[in-house]
Chains A and B, each alone.
Chain A
Amino acid sequence: MKTILITDDSESIRELLSFTLENAGYKILSAVDGEDALKHLTGGEIDLVLTDLHMPKLDGIGLIKKIRAKPEYQFVPILFLTTESQTEKKEEAKAAGATGWIVKPFVPEKLLATISKIIR
């Protein structure tokens, strides 16, 4: 079973994502911001990181950089959540090492489709 780490400061989004992904057969780890997320990245198996960009303490871009700096998580796919009007952020996130993105608002099907393109 694949494990996905969800990082978002909005509880409702976290819950929605958990619900959708668990029903699709993934194991979910949750974090409320970047710092919290790092607590899960201690060597255990993570198959995908799904993170929002705007969070307190450590935001999305910062989190991505930190993940890429860890040798055991060098290849883990990272998808960030973004709204359509934020193309500069997209480039910044890609430069920091993100694999791809999910556009908000998203329908669950699109979310699952994009994820299945990344982890198989």
Chain B
Amino acid sequence: MDQFRIKFLEEAADLLDDLEKILLELEKDGISTGSIEHIFRVMHTIKGSSSMFGFDVISEFTHHLETIYDLIRSGKMKVSKEILDATLVSVDHIRKLLTDENLSNPENISNHKSIGQTIKALIGAENIAKERIAFKEIQEHENSFFTYYILFKPTKDILIKGNNPLFLLSDLQDMGESKVLWHMQEIPDFIQLNPKECDICWEIFLACKESSSEVRDVFIFVEDQSELIIEELAKENLFIKKKFVEHLDNIPYKSPIIDLTDLKDFIQGLKEDESKQKKKKERSIENKTDKSIINKEGIISSIRVSSDKLDDLMNLVSELVTTQARLSLYANNNIAQNELSAIAENIEKISRQLRDNTFSICLIPIENMLTRFQRLIRDLSGQLDKKIIFLSEGTDTEIDKTIVEKLTDPLMHIFRNCIDHGIENKETRIEKGKPEEGTISFRAFYSGTNVHIEIKDDGGGINPAKIREKAISKGLIAPEIQLSEKEIIDLMFLPGFSTATHVTEVSGRGVGMDVVKRQINAIRGSVHIESVIDKGTTITLILPLTLSIIDGLLVQIHNTKYVIPLSVVDKCYEVKSENILNLFDNILDFEGGLIPFFNLREEFGIKMTPPEIQQVIIVKHNARKIGITVDYVIGEYQAVLKPLGKLYQNTDIMSGATILGDGSIALVMDTVQIVKKFSARNVI
């Protein structure tokens, strides 16, 4: 830069000398247009060049002088003695600034101020305001996308001005994802065709992070010679939406220019569809004080399919998944065959999607069941003269249809118990300071791979003391046993238990929670009760999303593999085989607790020597923990559950089987049954 500065300094000195000469001539001989032009040009040059070479102070100083002479030459101002004086003084000052460009000399500083003020005064306030000072908006944008619609219709002579529309399109395409539609309808016949003209116009869809003024900047040189429309379609990248891309792809070849309103409506429609989809997954609180749940979703088109067909479909899909696992295994073992791996990966992706899709076909929303319960509640509350408000939440939660079928009974029982034993009669409620109407609320939601169903009442709650009493009187527990409150409440799940002092017509024969528990366990779910006296009771059901897939732990005993459902697995410990064999009774000490266990090798009658180290898997059973020993724990495994054949229907300790990736079979253990069966022999 230095050589240029030197050059500039030389040039500036020359210009100032020149200027001085003209000003003096002007004073003597009077104005001539030529001289004013000249002075203006010099000011302009000094202003422009000084800023180019770092002499910003000079540039600023000269700015107003330039304005004065611009106004004079356009006739808006007249030359006067004051102006000439001020200009001459300025010339001296600028000379000084050439050596003091940062304005550090105090004399220069004060001169700078005073001369500056004089000049400004000469211009007059309104003229200063007219000075256009362009400023650029500094756009601050976060990392967000916009999608724009751009209509670019250049005038015919755009090419003759040296502009190339294709460069502009290329610039746009560099900014982000885009789709360009061209329109050649205006191109005349070959005879009339003028190659110097541009007869094409373009519509561009662009998704980028830039603001619309930055997009407009691309067209800065041609804006006044073109029809240009830039519309923001969305504050997101619409190109990630399949439907949007399809819509654009489907625009026929020679269509006219898009109707922007139609397009905007279409995008709006897409957004609405999406938010509807979102809402279906979110919980919506519906506060109803009457019985009916109005379906707000409107009409969704659907067809009826017989359950048999669905079952067949499910079976085929499950087999596909199994076979695909084998393919993946094979591809892994033959990794040299690149194409095979790629194909296997693709098939895995597709089969997974197919499986997820098929499973979701078999899901139905819970709300279908609710009508029955509302009816029950209405009838019962009438019979027992209790006012009940029924609230429901999350009724669009979907569950496998087989589970839904098996839920009806236990839920009906639970509701009956609620109304009969839970909610107190009107007088008692008022006495307790509660509202006259009792409230029963039903809530369903997903949590992990389970569906939770919560039934809450604001009734009298469960009295642990009473339960304990009853359990003792029924001989279910010994009187001196100490139990936690939770364990006491869980006593309700024992068969033959009922606190109803009489069998009501409504509740039937002590609709024991044991029945409910059995029914829920049969669909691989679990029941939990929580209660606070006088406040109410909450019963929670935890159900698997589907019966045919189990998340399990794959283990091996001798040379057979088994799957233990993860839902019952608590922990896993390593134990030396000799420690197991040398015990008098089957109890091991783990982390400060004594846990009884089953030696499965023994139980299964495997006589061969066990490996040196075995694994003890602690499984939960009711509220207690039991260990079972296996040789190896292989890992987590998602098993597609298959029923055992007819011959094995009476096998109780295995709930089914699954086919592993290598084609072999693993049996799925039913730990509850195992515990039952083996504990009948061993005394725990």
Contact = CB atoms under 8 A, between A and B. Distances in A.
Contacts of A117: 167, 171
Nearest to B221: A100
B673 interface: no
A105 B162 contact: no
B131 interface: yes
By DSSP majority rule, is chain B's interface helix, strand, loop, or mixed?
A: helix
Given A75-B159, A85-B132, A120-B167, A99 B221 contact: yes
A31 to B, nearest CB: 16
B4 interface: yes
Nearest to A16: B4
Contact of B45 (A54, A78, A99, A118): A54
Contact of B132 (A84, A98, A106): A84
Nearest to B225: A94
A77 B162 contact: yes
Given A54-B44, A87-B132, A12 B11 contact: yes
Contacts of A105: 48, 51-52, 59
Query: Which residue, of A12, A91, A104, A106, has the highest number of chain B Cβ atoms within 10 A?
Result: A12
A83 B131 CA distance: 12
A76 interface: yes
A72 interface: no
A68 interface: yes
A9 B132 contact: no
B481 interface: no
Interface residues of B, number: 36
Contacts of A106: 52
A38 interface: no
Interface in B1-52: 3-4, 7-8, 11, 38, 40-41, 44-45, 47-49, 51-52
A62 interface: no
A6 interface: no
A87 B161 CA distance: 19
B162 A13 contact: no
Contacts of B225: 94
Interface in A8-42: 9-13, 15-16, 19
A100 B303 CA distance: 63
Contacts of A75: 159-160, 162, 196
A46 to B, nearest CB: 11
Contact of A83 (B3, B40, B48): B48
A74 B196 contact: yes
Contacts of A76: 162
B51 A104 contact: yes
A104 B52 contact: yes
B92 to A, nearest CB: 22
B622 interface: no
Given A97-B160, A98-B161, A12 B49 contact: yes
Nearest to B12: A12
Contacts of B163: 77, 99-100, 118
B45 A83 contact: no
B167 A99 contact: no
Nearest to A105: B51
Interface in A78-116: 78, 81, 83-87, 91, 94, 97-101, 104-106
B368 to A, nearest CB: 63
Interface in B187-243: 196, 220-221, 224-225
A84 B134 contact: yes
A12 B221 contact: no
B41 A68 contact: no
A78 B162 contact: yes
Given A11-B11, A19-B4, A104 B133 contact: no
A68 B59 CA distance: 33
B132 A12 contact: no
Contacts of A11: 7, 11
B53 A12 contact: yes
Given A117-B167, A120-B167, A10 B49 contact: yes
A86 B341 CA distance: 66
Contact of B48 (A55, A56, A101, A104): A104
The 5 closest A-B pairs by CB, nearest first: A77-B162, A100-B221, A99-B162, A105-B51, A12-B8
Given A54-B45, A76-B162, 8 more contacts: A13-B48, A16-B53, A19-B4, A68-B160, A84-B134, A98-B162, A99-B162, A117-B167
8 contacts: A9-B41, A11-B11, A76-B162, A77-B163, A91-B224, A94-B161, A97-B162, A118-B164
